[in-house]
Amino acid sequence: MVFAKIVETEKELQDAFFVREEVFVKEQGIPRPLEKDEYDDIATHFVAYFDHRPIAAGRVRFKDLTAIVDRVCVIPPFRRKQIGVLMMQSLEQYIQGSNIKKVKLNAQTHAIPFYEKQNYCITSPEFLDAGVPYRAMEKVL
């Protein structure tokens, strides 16, 4: 059974970092010093498990009355099984517990259909970050 949860322990944090390392550093080739950043210290992290195995991650932070979601990822064998949706639902449920209604994210262009299916709208032209093409997207909860 798959479940997603807010990170509450150091072990869970390391599990979230493990998934991010597998996806962003090893699979996508994003340099580790860019993948791990200063926002890790202030963000609220999420992790998903299948049989005690960490398989998905994501994080959220708040800035200027906006929630910023990033580092959403699912390890390859578990993709296209609605686990990305489960992560986004967990993050959004957490955001809804605050007074913040607007959610912003930068979507890698290949992931735009994934976010559009969850009612995120494109708000910027394409731009590059660490060589990866992105477009800004947002949604009002």
The residue with its CB nearest to ligand COA is 84
User: CA dihedral in degrees (3, 4, 9, 14; nearest 10)?
Assistant: 100
Q: Does position 52 bind ligand COA by CB under 6 A?
A: no
Burial string for 30-69 (b: 16+ CB within 10 Å, else e) reads: beeeebeeeebeebebbbbbbeeebbbbbbbbeeeeebbb
Site for ligand COA in 75-94 (CB under 6 A): 79-85
**Residue closer to ligand COA (CB basis): 44 or 108:** 108
**Residue closer to ligand COA (CB basis): 7 or 58:** 58
Q: Does position 46 bind ligand COA by CB under 6 A?
A: no
**Residue closer to ligand COA (CB basis): 99 or 125:** 125
Q: Does position 42 bind ligand COA by CB under 6 A?
A: no
- CA atoms of 6 and 48, how far apart (whole Å): 9
Q: Does position 104 bind ligand COA by CB under 6 A?
A: no
Report the nearest approach of ligand COA to the CB of residue 22 (Å): 10
Q: What is the 3-state secondary structure (H, E, C) of 95-128?
A: HHCCCCCEEEEEEEHHHHHHHHCCCCEECCCCEE
What is the binding site for ligand COA (CB under 6 A)?
23, 72-74, 79-85, 107-108, 110-111, 113-114, 117
